[in-house]
Structure 1
Amino acid sequence: MPIEHKDQVSCAVKDQHYFHLTNGRHPQEFLNQKSNEWNLSLHNKEYATKMDEHDPIGDMRKHFHYPKLNDLPNVDKSRVNPDDECTYLCGQSLGLMPKRAENYVLSSMNDWAKIAVYGHFLGSNPWAKCDYPCIPQMSLLVGGHMKEVGVMNQLSTNLHFMMMSFYQPKGNRYKILYEERAFPSDQYAINSQIELRGYDPNESKVIVKSREGETYIRTKDILDVLKREGESIALILIGGVHYYTGQLFDIETITRAAHEQGCYIGWDLAHAVGNIPLKLHEWNVDFAVWCTYKYLNSGAGCIGGLFIHSNHFQSKLFKLNGWWGNRDSTRFAMADGKESVLIDTELGANGYRISNPSIHQCATLAASLEVFEEVGIEQLRSKSIILTQYLQYLLDTEINNDSVCTFKTLTPTDPRQRGAQISIRPNEITAQQLHDEMEKTGVVIDIRDDIIRIAPAPLYNSFYDVYKFITILKEAIITIRALRLKH
């Protein structure tokens, strides 16, 4: 069951050049090239199925449970075949269940049933170290050294732990910079930490916003704010991929600029890990936190992840301590007294552990990470860039016009500035109307306020999924308009 660490290598593919974009070629050029090569229009079903036939990692789909229409709520069974699979484009909210996860969990449960307390140190994956098998592949996914990466707690808990260490306001340097519409939990943590230090949140935050009339934030504008206000900023916290717009921030450039201004910088990678390649150690990121139930497919509310750069291993940063943060060799010695506990704290990310991890959560995470190890994040990103561009192209050419339904795209059109997500705001009809009508036909997408978030996850989504989504979307719009005219 446990994942063994291997060097990251590209998986064997049946068409090695298929997802290889050379010389900065735009993915639309690749899509057009295949269209010309096969003499098939991008608007045809045959084109989508042909793309899937040549997908070198398309077989990974069979490793996931795909919900059937009969099992989903709000599906109009009179309009669909209940035995068909749904069209699932909601990986940015919850990833699908890897089929092997059940066996991983059952293995831990069997150890509990058969050897009880001895399972802490014996069995298929001893519970006292059940998080350890997840760390090698997790380290590869985030681009960190293994000592820099920990699997523990949940995202917001880890964020508070990291801010306890890295938000240390002093004198005129007391503000926290973050992006507009940051995920609410991040904003709650920011306000809490500011108040904990005795500051007023209304006076201690710098919020970087998009320009008037634009939907995402320019890197230049972030850098300009840093140059202008950097001396007053103690900490920067930004989401690597923005949950609302799908924008992928330039983590390396922004991190470098933050350090030039003497600021600590952390990243919320909830929508980035398992979505894009990351090089946290190389980029000198101070810390990062993430969940594992979105693109990492570990299950709702599953265990989180944490990165702390080795530059800070010897720093005298304040942190909260717990017995599980002690070294393995002496943790069960039950050392008494403040001094002995502090001296024996594990060096690196694992020193931030407070309590022992859940065996069930580590089992589902390990099952998913095994799939990532078989594919490789670079290969996934290559497919994702093309798959998301295919979605963007069909949205623009099939839907966004006066005869169907105009909408505003919030996500950058530059593939290098977005993850596996496109967010749109429909004009003539509401996002809620569109979401509800799509749900009746078994399309699973996400709604946030007045926008629809569409996320084709490259591990299990196909080009046909995207084609089918566009077809149903157009039909849904026609249905809504007809109902409106009737009333």
Structure 2
Amino acid sequence: MTFQNSLEFAQFLDAEDALSKYRQEFHYPQVNGKDVIYFTGNSLGLQPKRTQKFVDDVMKDWRELAVEGHFYAEKPWWDYHERLANGLGKVVGAKTQEISVMNTLTVNLHLLMVSFYRPNQKRFKIICEEKAFPSDQYMLQSQVRFHRFDPKEAIVEVKKREGEHSWLVEDILNKIEEVGDELALVLLGGVNYYNGQVFDMKSITQAGKSVGAFVGWDLAHAAGNVELKLHEWNVDFAAWCSYKYMNSGPGNASGIFVNEKHLNRKDIPRFEGWWGTKKETRFLMQPEFDPIETADAWQLSNPPILSIAPYLASLELFDEVGMDALIEKQQKIVSYLEFVLKEIDKEVESSFEIITPKERGCQLSVFLHGEGKTLFDYLMKNGVITDWREPNVIRLAPAPFYSSFVDMYNFGQVLKQGILQK
């Protein structure tokens, strides 16, 4: 299809879009009396309208049933979290028993590291990407120090080549081979938060496994965004937050994946708690931990029902639409956004540089050469909600559930006005 940078053409694309009706399923902030153009689904997704009922139902059950809500609510709290496993399995490519929901992302990564970072004097190194998200960096450093290794020796960062904005998968694979039998763990972000690059998770996982390492993924920017086949790829473990593309609300509960080959084992090291023991014996208060035969064995405490209710509401939308349809629209709308950016670049003196490679999901990261944060401020004041990253990068993430092609066109016009008004 040959794109056009016109309102009429954008309207045509929206009319052809099978998912356009889902815009009405979300609440939009307003600026200057108009719905915003929302580009920060990679930080916090918009609120689905149906979320309110899911939360209200829990509040009603708490009000009317109190403790009996654990067993007699319409959706009993006792097994409330289990309702998310099937839908999440479809999103990340996993079996239902390989999924659980608990805690928050970095907490879960720490808990999973107990099981999957088990260094010894020979095999103790971890491979990650250069300048991983700070929380991952801190988590890895503290885990390494906890095991009495020096992070400078134990953490191997794969760097981008000089002058490049993205990683080459061959460099990651070569580094895995180079570290070889000293490698205990490969842990990267499935989608890099800064440049939006989607890593070749299948090939990297295979390479890590081939040298005897565990392989895990931080899927904060990948879950609900790109195709994932965690079980098929033989990934050992993964974790993701739910408040970005999964639209479950600020700071909300995290999902985890544990490959079925690690399930139903008492010999695997794991920090354990009451809610991870088998349901059949949980209330017998036995002194010995008896793990649930699913990823729920990694749970510690009662699930936070008021937090996961919005997650369940969002997953209902994902079940209705399916990841294939979301990815199909994602590819088209991001391509149209890229086209609009390049067309505006021709009309103004500034120069835009898209640093996101072709291996991408919803996100385009753009260097605004010759522009400063005043342009970002102009966009925000004029109803374009986006992310700023130093020194002069904006991250644009049109989520397929609620972004329209007209949004992409209108953004281009606001961007042009912001540049020309200097």
Give 1:107 shift.
Answer: 0.4
Change in CA separation of 1:98 and 1:402 when aligned onto 2, cut-off 3 Å: closer
**1:285 equivalent in structure 2:** 235
**1:476 equivalent in structure 2:** 418
Tell me the distance in 1 between the aligned counterparts of 2:382 and 2:370. Answer: 21
Tell me the distance in 2 between the aligned counterparts of 1:404 and 1:51. Answer: 29
**1:394 equivalent in structure 2:** 340
Note if 1:60 corresponds to 2:60: no
Contact 1:237 1:267 in 2 (8 A): yes
Tell me the distance in 1 between the aligned counterparts of 2:349 and 2:58. Answer: 52
**2:77 equivalent in structure 1:** 127
Note if 1:333 corresponds to 2:284: yes
Paired residue type of 1:94: L
Pick one of 248, 252, 273 that aligns with 1:322.
273
Pick one of 257, 264, 271 that aligns with 2:207.
257
The alignment partner of 2:337 has SS state of helix
Contact 2:126 2:186 in 1 (8 A): yes
The alignment partner of 1:176 has SS state of strand
Tell me the distance in 2 between the aligned counterparts of 1:199 and 1:247. Answer: 30
Tell me the distance in 2 between the aligned counterparts of 1:145 and 1:404. Answer: 52
Tell me the distance in 1 between the aligned counterparts of 2:381 and 2:30. Answer: 13
Tell me the distance in 2 between the aligned counterparts of 1:409 and 1:43. Answer: 18
Contact 1:324 1:356 in 2 (8 A): yes
Note if 1:442 corresponds to 2:387: no
Instruction: Note the residue ranges of structure 1 that are not aligned, 5 or more in a row.
Output: 1-30, 36-41, 70-81, 483-487
Contact 1:108 1:124 in 2 (8 A): no
Change in CA separation of 1:175 and 1:396 when aligned onto 2, cut-off 3 Å: same
Note if 1:422 corresponds to 2:364: yes
Tell me the distance in 1 between the aligned counterparts of 2:134 and 2:180. Answer: 24
**2:355 equivalent in structure 1:** 410
Give 1:402 shift.
Answer: 8.3
Give 1:68 shift.
Answer: 1.6
Tell me the distance in 2 between the aligned counterparts of 1:470 and 1:274. Answer: 26
Contact 2:348 2:416 in 1 (8 A): no
The alignment partner of 2:34 has SS state of coil
**2:254 equivalent in structure 1:** 304
Paired residue type of 2:17: D
Paired residue type of 1:411: T
**1:169 equivalent in structure 2:** 119
Tell me the distance in 1 between the aligned counterparts of 2:173 and 2:413. Answer: 41
The alignment partner of 1:392 has SS state of helix
Contact 2:355 2:364 in 1 (8 A): yes
**1:27 equivalent in structure 2:** none
The alignment partner of 1:131 has SS state of helix
Note if 1:350 corresponds to 2:292: no
Note if 1:372 corresponds to 2:312: no
Give 1:171 shift.
Answer: 2.4
**1:231 equivalent in structure 2:** 181
Contact 1:48 1:463 in 2 (8 A): yes
The alignment partner of 1:215 has SS state of coil
Contact 1:404 1:474 in 2 (8 A): no
Task: Give TM-score scaled by structure 2 length.
Answer: 0.97
**2:168 equivalent in structure 1:** 218
> Size of the alignment, in residue pairs?
420
Tell me the distance in 2 between the aligned counterparts of 1:272 and 1:237. Answer: 14
Give 1:311 shift.
Answer: 1.5
Tell me the distance in 2 between the aligned counterparts of 1:424 and 1:83. Answer: 28
Deviations 1:309-340 (A, max 9, x none): 011125532100000001112212222x2xx2
Identical-pair percentage: 42
Deviations 1:214-244 (A, max 9, x none): 1010101111111111222111111011111
The alignment partner of 2:135 has SS state of helix
Deviations 1:234-273 (A, max 9, x none): 1111101111100000110110011111111100001001
Paired residue type of 1:449: E
Give 1:203 shift.
Answer: 1.2
Give 1:125 shift.
Answer: 1.3
**2:98 equivalent in structure 1:** 148
Paired residue type of 1:354: L
Deviations 1:62-104 (A, max 9, x none): 10001122xxxxxxxxxxxx32111111100000000000010
Contact 1:144 1:280 in 2 (8 A): yes
Tell me the distance in 2 between the aligned counterparts of 1:161 and 1:470. Answer: 44
The alignment partner of 1:65 has SS state of coil
Paired residue type of 1:187: Q
The alignment partner of 2:417 has SS state of helix
Task: Give TM-score scaled by structure 1 length.
Answer: 0.85
Return the index of the structure with the highest Cα Rg: 1
Tell me the distance in 2 between the aligned counterparts of 1:465 and 1:449. Answer: 25
**2:407 equivalent in structure 1:** 465
CA RMSD of aligned residues (A): 1.2
Give 1:404 shift.
Answer: 3.0
Contact 2:348 2:420 in 1 (8 A): no
Tell me the distance in 2 between the aligned counterparts of 1:210 and 1:323. Answer: 44
Contact 1:181 1:244 in 2 (8 A): no
**1:362 equivalent in structure 2:** 308
Paired residue type of 2:334: T
**1:73 equivalent in structure 2:** none
Tell me the distance in 1 between the aligned counterparts of 2:109 and 2:156. Answer: 18
Give 1:280 shift.
Answer: 0.4
Pick one of 330, 333, 337 that aligns with 1:384.
330
Contact 2:264 2:292 in 1 (8 A): no
Instruction: Note the residue ranges of structure 2 that are not aligned, 5 or more in a row.
Output: none
Tell me the distance in 2 between the aligned counterparts of 1:434 and 1:221. Answer: 36
Tell me the distance in 1 between the aligned counterparts of 2:216 and 2:268. Answer: 15
